[in-house]
Amino acid sequence: MTVELNDLAMRPITGREELDLFSQLPYVLNEELADDLANGRRRPEWMWIALRGDRLLARAAWWSRPGGDTPFLLDVVDIDDSIPDPGRVDAGVRLLHTAVAATVPNGSPPPEYSRFVPPGWRDSIVTRQAVQDRMTILERTGARLFVERLRLEWRPGTPVPGPAGRLGFRPVQDTGELLTLMTSALHGTLDAHSCHDLTRMTAREAAVRHYEGELARYSSPKDWWRIATLPAGEPVGFVIPARNDYNPIIAYLAVLPEHRGNGYIHDILAEGTRILAEQDFPRIRASTDLGNTPMANAFQRAGYVNFEREINMTWS
């Protein structure tokens, strides 16, 4: 099939009635789209399609936190992989240019791009080509690779180590205490997003931004959150077990700089996992940067499986 770009009809979907059309291109997030629309995490005007006749050639969609007035994340960019190159990529580039111009506020950089990919996506010619095609579309609109992340999952039946006895655990006293610990934990961080934040703001400002933008929004009980302490009561780190709109998660895991290198991360992760496992959830999710080797090793040792990776790209 040869793609004539002049034939493309590009527009947002009209509403829920066009979800079947939008979902003709396969992706793991398709099963979440209806609920996202119903709960205000997506809007029809943020979900764009490129059609040639009645055939879907490309699509793009943004996600936001419930009630958000502007898109927070570009998390769907797809093309019909059966179309010969370069037509399939060209169709995606043209759609994304058009959709960004209509969706992103003037003068604002487009929201970050996120794509879930198989853990061994580079090992298969077919999968590698599909991922690279989508990255090429983003690159041709000005985006660059920011970080590749591991998506991790703990499954019921996986053993959870019992308390080692080296650390005590208690609830977070108040927001101020947690912000102080989050600020300290940013020193020497290996997390790419945190490192980027620290180029633009102070550690305290980055901690407040993270707390208000994410942690404070979880509706799951805050009494799940734990501070890890030495026997005398000195904090050494913390863990934030939570549930977002989709899954129970380890939202934040940290060891304070002065206590790193003692293996405390294993005790703290085990405590967070144990809290969520006691709720009988069908899974627990977590993520960390591919380059954050100590954190990745801690999750692997705790029995978390790398079930996907995530590609993040940004516009400077």
Map residue 39 onto helix, strand or coil: coil
Report if residue 52 sits inside a domain: yes
Same domain, 234 and 137: no
| Domain ranges, residue 112 | 5-141
Q: Enter the tokens of residue 143.
A: 């985006």
Q: How many CB atoms lie within 10 A of CB 218?
A: 18
φ, ψ for residue 158, nearest 5 deg: -75, 130
Same domain, 109 and 224: no
Report if residue 128 sits inside a domain: yes
Which pLDDT tens digit goes with each residue over 149-182?
A: 999 999 999 999 888 899 999 999 999 999 999 9
Same domain, 127 and 62: yes
Which pLDDT tens digit goes with each residue over 193-214?
A: 999 999 999 999 999 999 999 9
Report if residue 181 sits inside a domain: yes
CB 179 within 8 A of CB 209: no
Same domain, 172 and 311: yes
Report the distance separating Cα 286 and Cα 211, nearest Å: 17
Say which CATH number the domain at 295 has. 3.40.630.30
Strands annotated E in the chain: 9-12, 47-52, 55-63, 73-79, 113-117, 143-154, 168-171, 226-229, 235-243, 248-255, 284-289, 305-315
Same domain, 13 and 122: yes
Which pLDDT tens digit goes with each residue over 288-308?
A: 999 999 999 999 999 999 999
pTM metric for this prediction: 0.94
CB 299 within 8 A of CB 152: yes
